[in-house]
Amino acid sequence: MSISIKRRPTPINETNSEGRENQPMNEITEEIVPENTGQEVQSLSDGDEVLSEPVPESAAETETNGTNEFAQPASDEESADNAPDEPPADEPDDEYSPVLNRLDELRGDLLGKLVELEEDIHTVNVQLTAANRAVAVHEEIERNLNSELQKYKNEFYDKLASPFLMQFIGLYIDMTEELDELRTEKENAPDSEFLKAYIKSLEYYADSVRGVLTNNSVEIRTPAPGDKYDYLEHRISKTVPAEDPALRDCIASVKSSAFVYNGKVLRPAKVAVYKVSDKKI
């Protein structure tokens, strides 16, 4: 390869003192053109003078290796084009790409199903709460109905049973009062066999009537002397004068017992109550 030096005239315009331009003068410029060894550069135009000089092989080799001192520096674009390719960034092996893509798809499906499951669980919890509330309301209504029904049955039974129970209570009271009178007569005639047999027979029937009353949930309450008077269960048959203030409103004696049925007093007890005078001695 050789380097040709071309000399071409370059016009230069000058202005004289009269303001006119002088004739152009030729200026020789040199241009270095590389070409193959043993060849010459032809003239580009008339008036160009081309000089051809052989280039030694060492210079050709130097130019080939990119160290030609006569070569112009490469531009940024050419440097970028001639720069060695950088190694590609680490990319996942194509063999595992389908597996990774499938795993991503499965992960997305699983997350979607988890969200749906949470929504279903929330819906079930809401339904269970509403069902429990409905069951509690139903149980409360059922308890109220049972209570009302039981109350109605008790009241209905009381209305039916009370007249019969009152008859048995009256019969029992009459028998006990008759027994008290017979026992008093027996004290005056202890050898009377008739009184003994009559008292024994009357006690048997009185116990039978008592059993009927207790079997029908009738409670017989007999107060004791010295107990406080209760206006709900007691009826004063007579009063007994007393001077001790501690005996005020206390029971002196009991003539008959009180009969209570389902918390209701069917017949109060007949009692004698002490009465204390308010006068100071």
pLDDT tens-digit series, residues 185-207: 888 887 788 888 888 899 999 99
Residues 6+ apart with CB under 8 A from 187: none
Task: Enumerate domains of the chain plus CATH numbers.
Answer: 1-10+26-71 (no CATH), 219-281 (2.30.22.10)
Residue 209's closest CA among 183, 176, 179, 235? Answer: 176
- Write down the pLDDT at residue 131: 92
pLDDT tens-digit map of 139-162: 999 999 999 888 888 788 888 888
pLDDT band at 39 (very low <50, low <70, confident <90, very high): very low
Give the pLDDT mean for 29-47.
Answer: 46
pLDDT tens by residue, 132-142: 999 999 999 99
CA 278/CA 276 separation, integer angstroms: 6
User: What interhelical angle do 97-188 and 193-215 show, nearest 10?
Assistant: 160
CA angle 93, 99, 102 (to 5 degrees): 135
Is the distance from CB of 220 to CB of 257 less than 8 angstroms?
Answer: yes
Two tokens, residue 180? 């008290």
Q: What is the pLDDT of residues 217-268, one digit of tens each?
A: 899 999 999 899 998 999 998 899 988 888 888 999 998 899 998 888 999 9
